[in-house]
Amino acid sequence: MTDKESAGVEANTDGYRRLEGAQAEIRDAFFAAESGLFVLDCGPGAGKSVTADSIAAEDLARKSRGGVDSPTETLCLTSFSRDDAASILPGVERALRGFADDPQAPVEVTAETAAELGATLRGSDRVGTIDSVLGAVFEAVAGEVGFDEVPEVGDSAGLARVHGDALEAVRADPTVSTALETLDDGYPGGRYDADTADLLAAARSACRERRLSVADLRERLDAVVSGTYPDGPPASMAEVLRDTERFFGAEERAAVERALEADATGDADPVVDADANCHDRWSESVDALCTVLPVYLDAYDDACRAAGVLAHVDVAHWIATFFEREAYRSSFRDRLRARWRGRLSTVIVDEAQDVSRAQHDALAPLVNADTRVLLVGDREQCIYAWRNAQPSLFDTAATAGRYFGIDWETHERRSATRTYRSRPAITAALDTVFEPVFTDPTRGAADAAAAGREIDEYEPLSAVRAPTPGPSVHVAAFPEHGRPGSPTWVDPAEGVGEAEALADCIATGLESGRFEREDGEKPGVTVLFHRRTHMDTYVDAFADAGLSVRDTSRALFDHPLVGAVCAVVDWLRAPTTQEATLELVNDDDLPVTGLVDKLMRADWSITAVADAGSMRGADAAVVDGLADLARRRADHLASAGPPW
């Protein structure tokens, strides 16, 4: 259930709910000021998005009543992820309709005006994901930063080609050949998770997302090396053991010492040398990476311009760079900044804890001290760190009143632990699990500990919903087999494993009515997994228990038919070559057998095999189809359009 789907205390039309508690307080503060930074920082199910939508709707309604021209143009309302952003428009429209129907609404608006505002908002390019809003800004900036036309954003195939072109340019540059050799030696392809190409791509991404210069990146990488070798490379076994204890504890050190003593013939020197060598080679690799990276970045940007494609992070990067760098100073830049700042009076960011540094810096030029900014989020629900979310920005906004590069004169913060979503037993379970996590200096409180700040006390959640007569938390117990997460744990050869236990628990609960909905409808059940490893086993167990399962872990296009289509399209680039044809017929997804021999005898011509008529049934249909496609290659090339 999302934040917005939580049933409200005073549900009116269509899920509309009047704000209360911290929600109402931040709303009051928001509308009491002409400008400022307003932060609503609250836990799960606290109605953050409902608050954002309601304040947005009220903002529009007030401006409409006040005779402001095109009020929807003055509002920017974004969220980080696509799913959350998709619910923005319906949420605001719901709130507007609610205001129209609610005699006690904070603002008066007619049903007609509410509908009009909603319809106009649908066409706004200032509502949606942060990336979509930045895309609209970038349309005006693209030409200024070297693009002939507004590029295609997010085309992963195009970006893969750009990456390849940039690498080619780097490898052809003699000034970095030595550095490249060092990287290739340290990270040979095929042996580890990442090779030189992957490292460069990751470094580029890190620099762009976190707005680091190459020097900044080098500093951070050097800090990791020196953090791993605080006293430099070891010169003796004693120093190796000292580091072992430092990082793994006294017990581990003792174990290593015992192992060394047990092997009297062993020589400690190679161990010391290997460790010291690791430090030296690591440092050299950092140096090599930071030597190659600037060349790669330039080549990458050139390749982007040539291909007319960009990644979302590059859009944010270029917008921020355009507005920051002296080289781009112009009357047009001033005008563009004035256009946005002159029109935009309200900026609302939902799930603000997930905004990245790049996105923040790109939005910042559009905002000035006359704007009203509302940030809604929960530091503890930052789930996009892997996508370079920077929750510290939200922290600083909440605690210090600084955001978008502005120290806001008016700064209000409200927090809430009231949750409208979960029953009391569930909130108690959440508190039990998360209190030790968020107060642990090595886990949830690591940032505070690292910064030397006092670790805040955990604030338990407070459930608004009443408890149910029966339990809200159900535990499917089973006798343990093996380690948690192992195949034996999930589905042992004998006895009941986790998969079957869980399936039984859910199936019997549904059948017996133990899992009920207030509205009497049959509930759906969402099962969340930490890893995909054994998901299929659970799916099978659920199916065996008579449950119908929708497995959303399977990628939509991860289907043999799609694989076959891709293989054929790839083949059509050079359908008459042995190499391409062999690759096609060896593709697992292509539903035809016995073709290789026939192709060998037909000089690798699919057309010749088709004309010979020696295939049968479905195989013949596939081969005929391939031959037909090959014959029409001119049509395919033409319909792709000229290379303008």
Partner 1 sequence: MTETSAPGSVRAVVGDPGELLDRAGRAPEPTEFVVTPERLHRRNLKRRLAERASPRSSLRLTDATAIAAQLLDAAADPSETIDRIDRLKHVEAILRRDTEANDRLRAAFGSDLPARAETIAAAHSRVGEMTGWDEQRLDALAAVADELPTVAGRDTKDVLAGVRALERGLVDRAGSVHSREALLPAAADALRDRPALWREAFPATDRLSVAGVSVVDAPLSELIGAVAPAGVEVTLSLRPGTGPSIVERLPNRFEEPVTFEESQPSPVLTSAELVADTPEEEARLAAALVAAHLRNGASPSDVLVVARDAAEYERSLTRAAARHEVKLAVWAQLPVEQTVPYRQFASVCGLLGTDEPTLDELLAPIEFHWVPPAAGDDATAWPLATDNVGDLRAGLSAVSESDSPALSLAEWDGRLATAVDEAEIAPADSASLRKLIDWAREQPDTPEPAALHRTFRPLVEAGREVTLPTVFEADAADLARTSRYARALSRLEELLTDTRAKYQEWLDTGDVPRSWLAVADLAERVVTTRPGRREHANAAAVDVIDATDAWLREAPHVVAVGLVDGVWPRRVESVFPDALRQAVVAGDSAAAGRLAVPGRWTAAREVDHLASGLGAASETLACTRYRRDREGTTRERSPLLADVPTRTVDESAVQSLLATGALPDALAATGGAAR
Query: Interface with partner 1 by CB under 8 A: which residues?
Result: 69-70, 73, 86, 89-90, 119, 122-123, 140, 143-144, 148, 330-332, 334-335, 338-339, 342-343, 574-577, 605, 607-608, 628, 630-631, 633-635, 637-642, 644
Nearer of residues 564 and 609 to partner 1, judged by Cβ = 609
* Residue 190, marked binder: no
CB of 632 to partner 1, least distance (A): 8
Q: How far is CA 570 from CA 471, 564, 579, 580, 631, in A?
A: 56, 10, 11, 8, 15
Nearer of residues 89 and 307 to partner 1, judged by Cβ = 89
CB of 567 to partner 1, least distance (A): 18
- The span from the CA of 195 to the CA of 179, in Å, is 14
Nearer of residues 543 and 612 to partner 1, judged by Cβ = 612
* Residue 154, marked binder: no
Nearer of residues 385 and 638 to partner 1, judged by Cβ = 638
Q: How many CB atoms lie within 10 A of CB 236?
A: 12
Nearer of residues 410 and 607 to partner 1, judged by Cβ = 607
CB of 630 to partner 1, least distance (A): 5
- The span from the CA of 346 to the CA of 364, in Å, is 13
- The span from the CA of 224 to the CA of 21, in Å, is 44
- The span from the CA of 221 to the CA of 117, in Å, is 50
CB of 572 to partner 1, least distance (A): 9
What tokens does 195 get? 């090779």
What tokens does 277 get? 């060598």
CB of 609 to partner 1, least distance (A): 11
CB of 575 to partner 1, least distance (A): 6
CB of 217 to partner 1, least distance (A): 31
Phi, psi of 216 (to 5 degrees): -60, -45
Counted residue by residue, the chain has a size of 644
What tokens does 636 get? 């395919």
* Residue 46, marked binder: yes
* Residue 63, marked binder: no
Nearer of residues 593 and 639 to partner 1, judged by Cβ = 639
* Residue 643, marked binder: no
Q: How many CB atoms lie within 10 A of CB 8?
A: 17
What tokens does 469 get? 């007569």
Pairing state of beta strands 406-407 and 402-403? Answer: antiparallel
Residue labelled with tokens 């009231």: 418
Nearer of residues 167 and 344 to partner 1, judged by Cβ = 344
Is 624 strand, coil or helix?
Answer: helix
Query: Which long-range contacts (C-beta less than 8 Å, at least 24 apart) are formed by 572-576?
Result: 572/629, 572/630, 572/633, 572/636, 575/606, 575/629, 575/630, 575/633, 576/604, 576/605, 576/630
Nearer of residues 392 and 607 to partner 1, judged by Cβ = 607
CB of 643 to partner 1, least distance (A): 9
Number of H helices, E strands in the chain: 28, 12
Q: Is 384 exposed, middle or buried (0-12, 13-18, 19+ CB in 10 A)?
A: middle
* Residue 49, marked binder: yes
Which residues are annotated binding-site positions? 42-49
Which residues are annotated binding-site positions for ATP? 42-49
